[in-house]
Amino acid sequence: MARIKDIAARAGVSVGTVDRVIHSRGSVAKEVEKKVKEAIEELGYKPNLAARSLAKRTDHRIAVVLPQHTKDEFWGNQTQGILRALDSCKNFGLRGDILSFNDQKKGELLKLTDSIFDGSYEALLIAPTVTGEATELMDRCESSGMPYVQINSFIERDGDSSLGYVGQDSYRSGQLGAKLLDFGISKGDQLGLLHMEYDVENSNHLVDKEAGFRNYLQHHGHHYTIYKRLSDIDDLKKIRYQINELLEEQPKLKGLFITTSRVHLICETLRMLNRDDIALVGFDIVKENIRALHNYKKLFLINQNPSLQGFYGVMRLFDHFLKNKSVTETMHLPLDIVTLENVSNHQYMQDRDNIALDKNEYD
Amino acid sequence: MARIKDIAARAGVSVGTVDRVIHSRGSVAKEVEKKVKEAIEELGYKPNLAARSLAKRTDHRIAVVLPQHTKDEFWGNQTQGILRALDSCKNFGLRGDILSFNDQKKGELLKLTDSIFDGSYEALLIAPTVTGEATELMDRCESSGMPYVQINSFIERDGDSSLGYVGQDSYRSGQLGAKLLDFGISKGDQLGLLHMEYDVENSNHLVDKEAGFRNYLQHHGHHYTIYKRLSDIDDLKKIRYQINELLEEQPKLKGLFITTSRVHLICETLRMLNRDDIALVGFDIVKENIRALHNYKKLFLINQNPSLQGFYGVMRLFDHFLKNKSVTETMHLPLDIVTLENVSNHQYMQDRDNIALDKNEYD
DNA sequence: TATGATATTGTGTGCGTACACACAAAAATT
DNA sequence: AATTTTTGTGTGTACGCACACAATATCATA
């Protein structure tokens, strides 16, 4: 393994010069720089990350901005992945704080602005679920030259500070849901899509899911599909009432695509109505949905790998700071189809994205 | 972050003594050892891996034993994952060589014995597809105290040197295939299982897949299922002949579970026979199967995450050597259901298990 | 030619750990 | 009592790199 010292010898200069070339610190004569770069090339030099992070005196601190978790699920999978990645990076000079905000209230995200930009952070990892406010934050990043990575939701923008997006491909998840339901029903049966969220228009991912769903069905001869929003999405009785109405109107309905993790409520409802012949596709491996998998045979969950989103999001910043490598491409994580038969493996993976990250001998 | 030096100060000893305690090198008075351990506890000391691997003069070398790849797919996904993991570990003192063997011929695996045990390797990562010979190798590991990790196939054994298994859960994949097919057919339709491999009995994973498949169907009222082995699995004409025969015998057959990656041959056959109404479930994201996804609508692939198997297998050895942490539990990777709609994400992931492992600035 | 300014290059130190070695004190042996 | 041996402990160096600083070369100007 070639070291800086070897490069220096090869190029006939000192390690200091090589260092300046590697880090573009300037003050190097052009022909010398060329010689050094050739030496680097010829010897196939790759910096030793262990040594590099050891030699760096200062940590890189990043602010992680996430929506608050609901009480009953305090450690969201997203957070888990982030914490694990941070844990594995801490020996290599990357540290992060999680700043959470209430995404149901306006203005809560922007309240974090001061903390984020008070000088203690070098980068931002953000789940921009609240489009407007998140955009403001990212603009501020641009103007102050602070790199940022988006996870979970994506707001298209092209600034120099952007380090891209790591997250799900909602459009494809819509297609996937359509394919599954299409596969599971018989000729002549009808399909439907159900939004269970308050503010659908302002949630990019819901809009995209619907678009993907429509796209698939249009290309596969389903022209009479039902698209609906539940007005009340928490109260089981009201849900039952609405669903019952829907089923009476649409006797041929045999498959429903629920665009959020609330699908377990529909499982419960349909079981009460004795209509568990209806195939369901919903989202996310959460407690209630896992339970639903046990009770409801025709249920598939699409898992968006939340913990990997967090994990790779952090890793992108790791690459940026520790490897001098800035990835900006979109990284779409796999969409997993989860059933009772494979849910255990997925749970396991969510617990431990990387065994290398596990607590070590002195934990 | 507490360092060894801090522990030493706290315990009133020198760093050398702390080092001896941490690594159980002996020559430490009992009461001193206790004091040091307390200090470690109180300060929450965690070794700095960067410094550790930098200070270690010697690399840990591991032998990776894999079946040869076929010509047209030289870099198996398995190998990819392993190479990536090795690449990311090389700065941290873990190196490995891949030793491959022809698993179609008897005795080929054992020919590697001398190379493995010639003293250049400290550990073994093995895909024990050939049960008998692999067992012999692992026994040798036990008697020489060399740790080993199994990937891909699992041979149950309990020796002190075993670092467990990282791989698929074949039984569950059989259940999963059954569930999918069951979901996709109508009442009264028939299902079947097709082995496309020469030596089914000696392939644990095929036996397990069949068992899982049977299990699911038995519990869901399918009592007339067809189980079959193709005698010729390479020649398309002969396959067509056999399949044609099968379909004539079983007019109600509407779904087939293919236990190997050769499912694309069945797709082709069924298309020629104009019978693409038959739902198919097969294994693995290989070129031919990806193509098949485009041509054959009712096809699902089960992905066993081969590259993650390799990745985590190596990481286990990383933990063992660099973190003094030995995991021995079985790690079953997620079984992904892959369709045309989500295959791109999976391909992407196979290309880059971890962006942290990507080639860096001087590649 | 001397002087200073600037551009370029070299040197030294420390990051946290592992490990070889030196050394002192205590114990065992003569 | 003198010696060897054992046991316990501390010290110093190196790993590869980043960075501060020292040193030297180059050049324009007086």
Best A91, A208, A300 residue to mutate vs chain B (most B CBs within 10 Å): A91
CATH class of A170-303: alpha beta
Q: Alpha-carbon distance B320 to B147, whole Å?
A: 9
**Which residues in chain A have their CB less than 8 angstroms from residue B184's CB?**
183-184
Position B262 scores a pLDDT of 92
Per-residue CA distances from A272 to A229, A288, A296, A334 (Å): 20, 16, 11, 34
Which bases along strand C come within 7 Å of a protein CB atom? 7-12, 14-21
Read off the tokens for B260: 């190997």
Per-residue CA distances from B9 to A36, B4, B13, B18, B36 (Å): 44, 9, 6, 10, 10
Position B325 scores a pLDDT of 83
- Half-sphere exposure for A207 (CA within 13 Å, toward CB): 8
Confidence class for position A27, pLDDT limits 50, 70, 90: confident
The residue type of B3 is R
Of B169, B315, B339, the CB nearest to A179: B339
Q: Alpha-carbon distance A216 to A225, whole Å?
A: 11
Using the Cα atoms of residue B198, residue B201, residue B205 and residue B210 in order, give the sign of their dihedral. Answer: positive
DSSP track, B231-261: S--S-HHHHHHHHHHHHHH-TTEEEEEESST
Q: Alpha-carbon distance A94 to B286, whole Å?
A: 37
Per-residue CA distances from B329 to A230, A322, A355, B154, B307 (Å): 45, 32, 11, 12, 19
Q: Which nucleotide is nearest, taking the CA of residue B28 and each C1'?
A: D8
Q: Is the CB of B15 under 7 A from strand D?
A: yes
Give yes or no for residue B124 having a pLDDT over 70: yes
Which bases along strand D come within 7 Å of a protein CB atom? 7-12, 14-21
Read off the tokens for B258: 């293919």
Read off the tokens for B221: 């009222």
Q: Alpha-carbon distance B214 to B222, whole Å?
A: 9
* Unique residue bearing structure tokens 């930009």: A117
Pairing of the two strands A94-101 and A60-67: parallel
* B333 three-state secondary structure: coil
Average pLDDT over residues A46-73: 84
Are B181 and B302 contacting, i.e. CB atoms less than 8 angstroms apart?
Answer: no
**Which residues in chain B have their CB less than 8 angstroms from residue A318's CB?**
356
DSSP track, A17-49: HHHHHHTT-----HHHHHHHHHHHHHHT----H
Beta bridge mates, A303? A336
Give yes or no for residue B267 having a pLDDT over 90: yes
Q: Alpha-carbon distance B185 to B174, whole Å?
A: 17
Q: Is the CB of A323 under 7 A from strand D?
A: no
Read off the tokens for A260: 């959020």
Residue-level length of chain B: 363
Which residues make Cβ contacts (< 8 Å) with residue B24, sequence separation at least 6?
A: none
Work out the angle between the directed axes of helices B287-295 and B343-351 (0-180°, nearest 10): 170
Sheet holding A190-195, edge to edge: A226-229, A190-195, A253-258, A279-283, A299-303, A336-338
**Which residues in chain A have their CB less than 8 angstroms from residue B298's CB?**
183
Of B46, B53, B179, the CB nearest to A339: B179
Are B257 and B180 contacting, i.e. CB atoms less than 8 angstroms apart?
Answer: no
Of A92, A176, A354, the CB nearest to B341: A176
Give yes or no for residue B347 having a pLDDT over 80: no
DSSP track, A176-234: HHHHHHHHHS-TT-EEEEEE--S-STT-HHHHHHHHHHHHHHHTTT----EEEE-S--S
CA distance A281 to chain B (A): 12
Confidence class for position B358, pLDDT limits 50, 70, 90: very low
CA distance B111 to chain A (A): 31
Q: Which residue has the higher pLDDT, A229 or A115?
A: A115
Of B51, B315, B349, the CB nearest to A354: B315
* Residue spans per domain, chain B: 4-46, 58-167+306-333, 170-303
CA B299 to C1' C27, whole Å: 79
Q: Which nucleotide is nearest, taking the CA of residue A50 and each C1'?
A: D16
Give yes or no for residue B198 having a pLDDT over 60: yes
Q: Is the CB of A43 under 7 A from strand D?
A: no
Read off the tokens for B291: 């193509």
Q: Alpha-carbon distance A15 to A21, whole Å?
A: 10
Q: Which nucleotide is nearest, taking the CA of residue B15 and each C1'?
A: D10
CA distance B106 to chain A (A): 34
Average pLDDT over residues B104-116: 91
Q: Which nucleotide is nearest, taking the CA of residue A1 and each C1'?
A: D16
Tens-digit pLDDT profile for residues A294-346: 999 999 999 988 888 888 899 899 888 888 788 899 999 888 889 998 888 77
Tens-digit pLDDT profile for residues A176-233: 999 999 999 988 899 999 999 887 777 778 889 999 999 999 988 877 777 878 878 7
* Cβ-defined contact of B336 to A341 (cutoff 8 Å): no
Summary mean pLDDT of chain B: 87
The CATH number corresponding to B58-167+306-333 among 2.60.120.10, 3.40.50.2300, 3.60.15.10, 3.40.50.11540 equals 3.40.50.2300
Best A336, A340, A353, A358 residue to mutate vs chain B (most B CBs within 10 Å): A336
Position B16 scores a pLDDT of 92
CA B29 to C1' D8, whole Å: 7
Average pLDDT over residues B229-237: 83
Q: Do domains B58-167+306-333 and B170-303 have the same CATH topology?
A: yes
Q: Alpha-carbon distance B37 to B11, whole Å?
A: 9
Residue B279: closest CA among chain A residues belongs to which residue?
Answer: A183
Which residues make Cβ contacts (< 8 Å) with residue A203, sequence separation at least 6?
A: A129, A197
Of B50, B332, B346, the CB nearest to A91: B50
Of B183, B323, B360, the CB nearest to A323: B360
* Unique residue bearing structure tokens 């539940």: A230
Average pLDDT over residues A96-120: 90
* Cβ-defined contact of A46 to B360 (cutoff 8 Å): yes
Read off the tokens for A148: 């940022």
Read off the tokens for B64: 């990776």
CA distance B332 to chain A (A): 6
The residue type of A143 is S
Give yes or no for residue A63 having a pLDDT over 90: yes
Position B361 scores a pLDDT of 47
* Cβ-defined contact of B175 to A92 (cutoff 8 Å): no
* Cβ-defined contact of A356 to B49 (cutoff 8 Å): no
Q: Is the CB of A132 under 7 A from strand D?
A: no
Give yes or no for residue A361 having a pLDDT over 70: no
Phi-psi region of B338 (alpha: psi -120 to 50; beta: other; left: phi over 0): beta
Confidence class for position A354, pLDDT limits 50, 70, 90: very low
Position B75 scores a pLDDT of 64
Average pLDDT over residues A39-44: 90
Closest CA to A353 of B324, B333, B125: B333
Q: What are the residues with a C-beta under 7 Å from any atom of nucleic chain C?
A: A 8, 12-17, 19-20, 27-30, 32-33, 51, 54-55, 57; B 1, 3-5, 15-16, 19, 22-23, 45, 47-48, 51-52, 54-58
In this complex, the residue with its CA at the shortest distance from the C1' of nucleotide D13 is B55
**Which residues in chain A have their CB less than 8 angstroms from residue B363's CB?**
46
